[in-house]
Amino acid sequence: PQPYQIGAGDVLNIVVWGHPEFALAAGPAQLGGASAAAGFSGAAAAMPETSATSLSGQYVSAEGTIQFPYVGSLNVAGLSEAEARDALVRKLSRYIKDPQITLRIQAYRSNRLYIEGDVRVPGLIALNDLPMTLPEALARAGGLLPSADRSAISITRGDKTTAVNLQKLTEENVNPNQILLAAGDMVRVTGREDAKVYVLGEVTAPKPVPMRYGKLTLNEALGEAIGLSQGSSDPSQVYVMRKP
């Protein structure tokens, strides 16, 4: 897992300790309009000089920048919280001696992944500073539907798709929490109806038979078709045809 990287759409909360003038410069009654002209994206709250000045709601623009008093435009896209804070400290040090700044991500909105298929709540999942694993993503999507095939889950990252067989991992005592997801990933859970074996010919009830988590034996397939026809079948002429 890598540190969360700030991106367009995220909201930052920035606190400059011991400098209430950042919030008081425009006056309390004018903070709504004047503060926007001074570079504030959200409301600024004045604090006593003995406490911190909180500049909440610093939105990261589509260009990956924020607007901050004295500093102007600062590019924070692709930086971690610590890197963005250090960059702001360097810029603000030109005007304030040894500025003490706290910078935190207030709202995670830029990094997302997508989950679709046989889950209860398909759609977007926002990523935060904690690593997102495959089981957690499935849990956030409401879990698997009864029709889901645990052996047929795919993860697409860029132009590469990787198949994941949760059933096999469980049988081999491999913890699926080792599978870390990243921003932009597409997770697709295939339904069992998409994996079928077709039983045809001289059986009692010819029909498609869904596989059970990627597995099905010949006896099970014939059993689902209620066995061979007693009067017309030839048990020595049973064939399994498979794509090359």
Q: Which two tokens stand for residue 22?
A: 């950042």
Q: Which residues contact 97 (CB under 8 A, 6 or more apart)?
A: none
pLDDT in the model for residue 22: 63
Ramachandran class of 114: left when φ > 0, alpha when ψ lies in -120 to 50, beta otherwise: beta
Nearest to 181 by CA among 133, 116, 117: 133
Strands 112-117 and 186-191: parallel
Two tokens at 35?
């503060």
Tokens of 45: 């709250």
What confidence score (pLDDT) does residue 23 get? 53
pLDDT of residue 50: 36
- What is the number of H-type helices and E-type strands within the chain? 6, 13
Q: Digits of tens for pLDDT over the chain (244 positions)?
A: 788 999 998 999 888 888 776 654 323 322 333 333 333 333 333 333 434 444 457 889 999 999 888 888 999 999 999 999 999 999 999 988 889 988 999 889 899 999 999 999 999 999 998 999 999 999 999 999 998 999 899 999 999 999 999 989 988 999 999 999 999 999 999 988 777 888 998 889 888 888 877 778 888 888 888 888 888 888 889 999 888 7
